[in-house]
């Protein structure tokens, strides 16, 4: 099967009892045994569920991996990956990781004895220098949130291989429609299925995918032992969303490039960051490893916080909301929203300036999105 076919069909067969083309939702906690010591492959939904299993098989096939293990959120997924490690182990991680991930690393896992070094992984030399004898994982997000830094996965895989450690990639912003890290040498791929994979702002979920049997066995154990599992209905809704993944990512990417190009020429916009623009420092790497550039854009307004507030309060179509990767266009202002708790000095040091705005371009008509931005930009004095 080719990619666009896999998205719709991988692992999905007609329901054996009725022929239903859409698999049913097995919304059950437990399964009746026909006799002592015999089961039909399922015993309790924390351990296994037919709807969840379909999602795991479908997403693993789409990502080009052998095993998929679903969790109740993207955060629970990242937590599970880090449970491969033990106290005293060290992780080299991308510096501009999703806010929830840096909170998990710095405020939760560091208290259980894991140590983290954050580097700009778009520079392989910095990554190499940060590896120590006790480094047990290389963790990369690409493109990153919200600065859309791009990391060369093949270069990271070579460094991880030399060090004898696994490379984990949070590929939420790209999705397997645009980037397949396992094919480039990564050992583990993680997604928040909350975003583009489910795609319609309808649920919270996550998945880890790997070709490594031993790692997959550990993930299955964590899934069962910790119990951060998604509901069967959420798995079913995710499967439904995935069917249009290729179409949606093509549209997100086409509109993303149009909007980024428009913003780059606007006099009230100081700087636009979008991996699809030639001005992006990671453009060449992105072009090499991605088939398109997704719908995430960040841009910098002349006029800082007050300009940001004026813009966001003037938009009518674009939704002021803290998520991304859905059919609706959503916009956030990190300085007053997602990163309001980060001290201003630290924010600025990380490149999260007062005028920075992050846009998740949806699949509405591009003209409507552009008109909305145009009239809101006009409102800024």
Ligand X SMILES: *Cc1c(COP(=O)(O)O)cnc(C)c1O
What is the binding site for ligand X (CB under 6 A)? 73-75, 98, 100-101, 141, 145, 170, 172-173, 192, 194-195, 204, 206
Residues 294, 348, 304: CA angle, nearest 5 degrees: 80
CB of 167 or CB of 366, closer to ligand X: 167
User: Residue 346 Cβ, how far from ligand X at the closest point, in Å?
Assistant: 20
Residue 145 in contact with residue 95, Cβ under 8 Å? no
If the CB atoms of residues 48 and 201 are measured against ligand X, the closer one turns out to be 201
Q: Of 26, 71, 98, 274, which one is the catalytic site residue? A: 98
Active site annotation includes 46: yes
Q: How far apart are CA 127 and CA 149, in angstroms?
A: 14
Q: What is the rounded CA–CA span in Å between residue 320 and residue 333?
A: 9
CB nearer to ligand X: pick between 251 and 358: 358
Secondary structure letter of residue 16 according to DSSP:
T
Residue among 80 and 353 whose Cβ is closer to ligand X: 80
Taking the complex as a whole, how short is the minimal distance between the CB of residue 74 and ligand X, in angstroms?
A: 2
Looking at 46, 258, 268, 287, which residue is catalytic? Answer: 46
Q: Which of residues 109 and 307 has its CB atom nearest to ligand X in the complex?
A: 109
Number of other residues whose CB lies within 10 A of the CB of residue 367: 10
Rounded Cα distance between 153 and 76, Å, is 23
Measured from the CB atom, is 117 or 323 closer to ligand X?
Answer: 323
Q: How far is CA 337 from CA 42, 66, 163, 306, 309, in A?
A: 43, 38, 38, 14, 11
Judge contact between 234 and 73, C-beta under 8 A.
no
Catalytic residue, chosen from 195, 248, 251, 347, is: 195
Residue nearest to ligand X (CB): 74
Joined tokens for residue 290: 């991605």
Angle separating helix axes 50-63 and 232-242, nearest 10 degrees: 30
**φ/ψ (deg, to 5) at 313:** -80, -15
- CA distances to 7, 102, 189 from 176, rounded to whole Å, are 10, 23, 10
Name the minimum Å distance from CB 117 to ligand X: 19
Helices (H), 174-244: 213-226, 232-242
Nearer to ligand X, 173 or 274 (CB): 173
Other beta carbons less than 10 A from residue 320's beta carbon: 12
Cβ neighbours around 316 below 10 Å, total? 10
Choosing from 95, 96, 152, 170, the catalytic residue is 170
Q: Does residue 6 have an active-site annotation?
A: no
Chain position carrying tokens 């096939």: 61
Q: How far is the CB of 141 from ligand X (least distance, A)?
A: 6
Smallest gap, in angstroms, from Cβ of residue 144 to ligand X?
Answer: 8
**Least distance in Å: CB of 194 to ligand X?**
4
Number of residues that this document lists for the chain: 381
User: Does residue 195 have an active-site annotation?
Assistant: yes
Q: Has 262 been annotated as catalytic?
A: no
**CB neighbour class for 34 (10 Å; exposed up to 12, middle 13-18, buried from 19):** exposed
Q: How far is the CB of 280 from ligand X (least distance, A)?
A: 18
User: How far, in Å, CA of 70 to CA of 370, rounded?
Assistant: 37
The residues annotated with a catalytic role in the active site are 46, 98, 170, 195
């Amino acid at each position: 099967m080719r990619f666009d076919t896999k998205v719709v069909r991988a692992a999905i067969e007609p329901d054996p009892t009725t022929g239903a083309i859409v698999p049913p939702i097995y919304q059950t906690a437990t399964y009746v045994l026909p006799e002592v010591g015999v089961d039909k492959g399922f015993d309790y939904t924390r351990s296994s569920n037919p709807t969840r299993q379909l999602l795991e098989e479908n997403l693993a096939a789409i990502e080009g991996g052998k095993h998929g293990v679903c969790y109740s959120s993207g955060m629970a997924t990242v937590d599970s990956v880090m449970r491969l490690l033990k106290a005293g182990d060290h992780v080299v991680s991308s510096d501009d990781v999703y806010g929830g991930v840096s909170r998990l690393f710095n405020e939760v896992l560091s208290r259980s004895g894991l140590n983290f070094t954050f580097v700009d992984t778009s520079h392989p030399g910095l990554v190499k220098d940060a590896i120590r004898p006790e480094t047990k994982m290389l963790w990369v997000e690409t493109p990153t949130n919200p600065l859309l830094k791009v990391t060369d996965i093949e270069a990271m895989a070579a460094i991880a291989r030399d060090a004898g450690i696994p490379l984990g990639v949070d590929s939420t912003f790209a999705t397997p429609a645009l980037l397949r890290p396992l094919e480039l040498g990564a050992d583990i791929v993680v997604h928040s299925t909350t975003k583009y994979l489910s795609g319609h702002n309808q649920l919270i979920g996550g998945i880890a995918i790997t070709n490594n049997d031993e790692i997959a066995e550990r993930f299955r154990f964590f899934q069962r032992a910790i119990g951060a599992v998604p509901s069967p209905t959420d798995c079913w809704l995710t499967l439904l969303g995935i069917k249009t993944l290729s179409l949606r990512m093509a549209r997100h990417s086409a509109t993303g490039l149009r909007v980024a190009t428009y913003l780059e020429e606007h006099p009230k916009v100081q700087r636009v960051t979008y991996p699809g623009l030639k001005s992006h420092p990671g453009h060449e790497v992105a072009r090499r490893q991605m088939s398109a550039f997704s719908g995430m854009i960040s841009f910098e307004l002349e006029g800082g916080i007050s300009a940001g507030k004026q813009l966001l309060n003037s938009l009518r179509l674009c939704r002021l909301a803290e998520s991304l990767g859905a059919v609706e266009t959503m916009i956030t202002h990190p300085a007053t929203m997602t990163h309001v708790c980060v001290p201003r000095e630290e924010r600025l040091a990380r490149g999260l300036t007062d005028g920075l705005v992050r846009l998740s371009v949806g699949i509405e008509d591009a003209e409507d999105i552009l008109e909305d931005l145009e009239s809101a930009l006009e409102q800024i004095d």
